[in-house]
Amino acid sequence: MFFYIRRYLLWGLLAVAFMCGEVCMDLMQPKLMSRIVDEGVMGLGTGGSDMGIIAHLGLWMLGCVVLGCFCGSMNTVFVNLAGQHAGNEIRKDCFARILSLSFSQVDAAGTGTLITRVTNDVTQVENMLSQFIRGLVRTSCLLVGSAFFMYQLHHAFGLLIVIALPLLVLIMGIILRLTNRSFLALQAELDAINRILSEDIAGIRIIKACVHEAYEKRRFGRANEALLATQLHVLVLFALMNPLVNLVMGTLVVLVLWQGGQMAAAGMIRPGLVIAAISYTTTMLMGVMMLVMLFQTISRGLASWKRLRTLLQMEPAIRDGAHDVPPGRGEVCFEHVSFSYHAGQEILHDINLVIHPGEHVAIMGATGTGKTTLLSLIPRFYEVTEGRVLVDGVDVRDYRLSSLRGRIAFGLQRSELFTATMAENIRWGQEDASLDEVRHAAAIAQAEAFIRRQPHGFDAMVAERGTSLSGGQKQRLAIARAVLRRAEIRIFDDSTSALDLRTEARLCEALDREDAGVTRITVAQRIASARHADRIVLLEHGRIAADGTHEELLQTSDLYRSLYDSQLGEEAKDHEG
């Protein structure tokens, strides 16, 4: 954490300096009050009450109050500057770390957990940093200063402090140790809440369609009850600490009054010193009460920092290569490639496949045969378990990730759109593309017509996650984004599943014209989407079952023939011949 604090060390030091000034002003006031009572009111040592002394020392007290307020305000300003900026840096680094993680690491962590860490956990750390300087350090200085001045007033008062402070430290240390585990559990419960919220908001349509509202309410209710139970456990611990601390401090005040009263009656000390001792004791009491409240914030902040540190120290599972991808032909080669998400569950086994430059290859197979996984290995979204993947004769692990992925255009299985204009969503494929280039890409993707029908055309806003568009419209925007990218390799992962057959046929014809010389790899479920490819690769149980043209596979592959026969409805008839 110091790595982030040291960047704003100057602000932190200024905050501490102003805080020290505020503490000094606070500690001076009881001594001035003591002199006002002894010298001004009772006239001890001056022969009688003296309004001049009262006015003079009163102005000094007022000055201490004003200067203390100024120092306190400046302390708050610099504390917040340091805390908020440090939190901002932590948040940026956490987000950057998440973007550097592999798909498998993100899947393992979970969306809800990552959202909680970047939002709630960082906020807790910001609060902890601010409270540490403003609250904990200030209160600790007040406690130490008050104890010192009480000992200076009379060693008997100091002895009482020496007895009371260790008891307070022991009580708060025990409670802090117990609450630390509870706060870790609390953040985990928040993860669960966020995960359910994220899933249910994203899947609200299917929840309503399947009439699962009651089930999701119960699921959320269970997570919410678990969160409540953890919160109550923490509150009980702090509820135990408050009366114990108050008992110790209340006893200390009574003992100071009793000891001070006896010494004043015996003439050992002046009455004003008793008032000063009571004032310092009250300051200590308020400080300890403040510490009790601060410990909750600091305990939660430390628990959040542990979670953030785990994220920040997480090494990306996929290491960056050392070389940029040179301009090439777009050849892709799989050599004895095997892959598994989990040990013992192999998804792909001994894949050997060469996709030649400028070739259009369609990947087909039943659901779960590893089609998407196979294509995800080319840009290194996942790392091969065995074997290697080569682009233009070089192992993809030797390339820089940004360079490798920059030479590949993607039309992913799930069309991810962002809250931006139509043009801006398409420009994700090429940020510096002109509007004419955007329109050209949209025309190839068969998206230009429906975009122009929008009230603002290419400047029309897309709602969050593209909810304002149909499935086919979202897919065509995603395809336009892939077309816009100037790449040697284009990957379309079942990107036309929501299109009608005529629109898909026009799209394929336009892509064939546009992609002359570009290597195109398409995952398809429908024969109509794959039959015009140069080659069709058929996967079965993670292995290549057949490889050839549409006509060749009809002659040689029973599996392909069964797929063809199963689709001999309107789709096959429309495309026959």
Q: Which residues of 2-39 are buried (b: 16+ CB within 10 A; e: fewer)?
A: eebbeebeebbebbbebbbbbbebbbbbbbbbbbbbbb
Q: Is the pLDDT of residue 576 over 70?
A: no
H or E element, residue 237? helix 213-265
CA dihedral (415, 420, 425, 428) positive or negative: negative
Mean pLDDT across 481-493: 89
Q: Average of pLDDT values for 160-188? A: 77
Query: pLDDT class for 28, splitting at 50, 70, 90?
Result: confident
Rg (CA), the chain: 36
Tell me the three state secondary structure of residue 155.
helix
Nearest CA-CA partner of 515 in 550, 548, 486, 552: 486
Q: CA 31 to CA 46: how far, in whole Å?
A: 18
Between 256 and 565, residue with greater pLDDT: 565
For 278-323, how does the pLDDT look when each residue is reduced to its tens digit (9 = 90+)? 888 878 777 777 777 777 778 778 888 888 998 899 888 888 888 8
> In DSSP terms, which residues pair with 269 in a beta bridge?
none
Q: Tokens for 274, please give them.
A: 């008793």
In this structure, are residues 489 and 517 in contact, taking their beta carbons and an 8 Å threshold?
no
On the question of pLDDT at 184 being above 50, the answer is: yes
Binning pLDDT at 50, 70 and 90, where does residue 50 land? low
Please answer whether residues 272 and 32 qualify as being in contact, where contact means their C-beta atoms are separated by less than 8 angstroms: no
Q: Does the pLDDT of residue 8 top 60, yes or no?
A: yes
Tokens matching residue 507: 């799209």
Q: What is the pLDDT of residue 236?
A: 81
Say yes or no to pLDDT of 498 above 90: no
Shortest CA distance to 525 belongs to which of 563, 475, 574?
A: 563
What average pLDDT is seen over the chain? 84
pLDDT value at 151 more than 90: no
pLDDT tens profile 416-458 = 888 889 999 899 888 888 999 999 999 999 999 899 988 888 9
SS (HEC) of 99-137? HHCCHHHHHHHCHHHHHHHHHHHHHHHHHHHHHHHHHHH
Q: Which residue has the tokens 């050849």?
A: 331
Which amino acid is residue 333, in one-letter code?
C
Q: Is residue 15's pLDDT more than 80?
A: yes
pLDDT for the residue 572: 45
Cβ-based neighbours of 66, under 8 Å, separated by 6 or more: none
In this structure, of 44-53, 102-111, 231-240, the range with the lowest mean pLDDT score is 44-53
The label of the residue with tokens 């036309």 reads 496
Cα 495 from Cα 293, distance rounded (Å): 55
Is the pLDDT at 574 greater than 60? The verdict is: no
Polymer length of the chain? 577
SS3 content of the chain, % helix, strand, coil (to 5): 65, 10, 20
pTM above 0.75, yes or no: no
Question: Tokens standing for 573?
Answer: 């008839």
Judged against a pLDDT cut of 50, whether residue 577 lies above it is answered with no
Q: What is the mean pLDDT of residues 354-379?
A: 92
147, 164 in Cβ contact below 8 A? no
pLDDT at 106 over 90: no
CA distance 425 to 404: 22
Domains of the chain: 2-312 (1.20.1560.10), 332-575 (3.40.50.300)
In Å, what is the CA distance from 493 to each residue of 392, 481, 560, 567? 21, 14, 19, 20
- Higher model confidence: residue 98 or residue 468? 98
Question: What pLDDT shows up at residue 237?
Answer: 77
| pLDDT (average), residues 524-544 | 90
Please tell me the predicted confidence (pLDDT) of residue 391. Answer: 93
Tokens of 319: 């290491």
- Dist. CA 37–CA 280, nearest whole Å: 16
Query: Under a CB-based contact definition with an 8 Å cutoff, are residues 399 and 321 in contact?
Result: yes
What are the backbone dihedrals phi and psi of residue 353, each rounded to the nearest 5 degrees, phi first? -155, 135
Beta-ladder partners of 278: none
Please tell me the distance from the alpha carbon of residue 294 to that of residue 245, in angstroms, as a whole number: 14
pLDDT band at 194 (very low <50, low <70, confident <90, very high): confident
Per-residue pLDDT at 575 exceeds 70: no
The pLDDT confidence band at residue 544, using thresholds 50, 70 and 90, is: very high
- List all residues 6 or more positions away from 494 whose beta carbon is below 8 Å from its beta carbon: 371, 372, 413, 523, 524, 525
CA dist 218 → 186, 189, 202, 343 (Å): 20, 16, 18, 34
Helices (H) and strands (E) counted in the chain, each on its own, are 22, 10
Determine the pLDDT at residue 350: 93
Angle at 376 between CA 370 and CA 381, to 5 degrees: 135
Q: What residues pair up with 340 in beta bridges, in sequence order? A: 346
Give me the torsion for CA of 216, 217, 218, 219, rounded to 10°. Answer: 50
Mean pLDDT confidence for 116-132? 86
User: Other C-beta atoms within 10 Å of 419: how many?
Assistant: 12
Which of the pair, 268 or 390, is modelled with greater confidence? Answer: 390
| Secondary structure string (H, E, C) spanning 29-78 | HHHHHHHHHHHHHCCCCCCCCCHHHHHHHHHHHHHHHHHHHHHHHHHHHH
| C-beta neighbour count of 537 within 10 angstroms | 23
Q: Please name which of 58, 71, 57, 59 lies closest in space to residue 26, comparing C-alpha atoms.
A: 71
pLDDT for 570: 47
- Facing residues of 339 across strands? 348
Q: What are phi and psi of 547, to 5 degrees?
A: -155, 120
Dump strand ranges (E) for 299-397: 332-342, 345-355, 360-365, 386-391, 394-395
**Strand 535-540, strand 543-548: pairing:** antiparallel
Q: Which residues pair with 546 in a beta bridge?
A: 538
- The answer for residues whose C-beta is within 8 angstroms of residue 574's C-beta and 6 or more apart is 501, 528
Specify whether the CB–CB gap between 339 and 377 falls below 8 A: yes
Q: Which residue has the tokens 């495309």?
A: 575
Q: How far is CA 275 from the centre of its chain?
A: 52
Contact yes or no for 508/444 (Cβ under 8 A) = no
pLDDT digits (tens, 9 = 90+) for 227-241: 888 888 878 877 777
Q: How confident is the model at residue 568, as a pLDDT?
A: 61
